[in-house]
Amino acid sequence: MVRVVGHLRAVKDPFLAARAVRELPPESTLRVEHIGACLEPQLAEQARVEERSNPRWRWLGPLSRRETLRQIASAHVLVSTSRSEGGPSVLAEALLASTPIVSTRTDGALGMLGAGHPGLFDVGDEAALRRLLLHAEADANFLSELQAAGDLRRGAFSRELERAALRDLLAGLDSSPTAG
C-alpha cells in the first residue's frame, strides 16, 4: 500500500499521486490511500470525484495521530507530493518507522533525505512519480534501496534528540539576559 499523508491543500499537490496511478498497467496492484483533513473546501468535492473515478486512490480523511503513525509504519511506500516544504514531519515519521520514501525534490525533503536519495522526483512530475512507484512495486531491490537510504538518515530524527534539543533551547531561554 502506498500512503500519502498531508492535508488537502494546493501547496501539497494532493492529487498528484492519484493522477500518477490512474493509468497503470492492469497487472499493477498499486493502491494509494491519502490521509489528511481537507483545508480547502473546494478540494473535498474533487477528492470525492477522484475516489469515484479512480479505483486505485482513496481519501481516508483525518485520522488520529496514533492511527496516522500506524498507517505510515505499515505502508510499503510513503509519498510526499508537496510543491514547497520546510521540513515535513511526515518524512521524519516515515524515517523513524523505516518506511521507504518517495518525495518531491523540495528544500525540506533534500535537507531531510539528502540530495542522493533514490526516491526523489521533481515537483509536479506525475510521470516520474508513476515510474518510481512502478519501480518500487516491481523491484524488491529498489524498495530495499529506498529503505536503506532512509535508514541512513533516521538517526538525525530520533525523538530523544528532539527532546534534548528542546531542553537545550528552553535552558538557553532561561539563561538569556532580559531587558530591564
**Helices 89-97 & 65-74 angle (0-180, nearest 10):** 60
Classify domain 2-174 by CATH architecture: 3-Layer(aba) Sandwich (3.40)
Query: 54-66, pLDDT tens digit by residue?
Result: 999 999 999 999 9
Per-residue pLDDT at 40 exceeds 80: yes
pLDDT of 173 strictly over 90: no
For 75-111, b/e burial (b = at least 16 CB within 10 A) is bbbbbbbbeebeebebbbbbbbbebbbbbbebebbbe
Q: What's the mean pLDDT when you consider all of the chain? A: 92
Check residue 156 and give its pLDDT.
74
Question: How is the chain split among helix, strand and coil, in percent rounded to 5?
Answer: 55, 15, 35
DSSP code for 61 = E
Strand order in 2-5's β-sheet?
57-61, 32-35, 2-5, 77-80, 101-104, 120-121
> Residue 148: pLDDT above 60?
yes
> Would the pLDDT of 88 be above 90?
no
Q: What is the mean pLDDT of residues 30-51?
A: 95
Q: What is the pTM of this model?
A: 0.87
Q: Which of 3-7, 48-52, 65-69, 154-158 has the lowest mean pLDDT?
A: 154-158
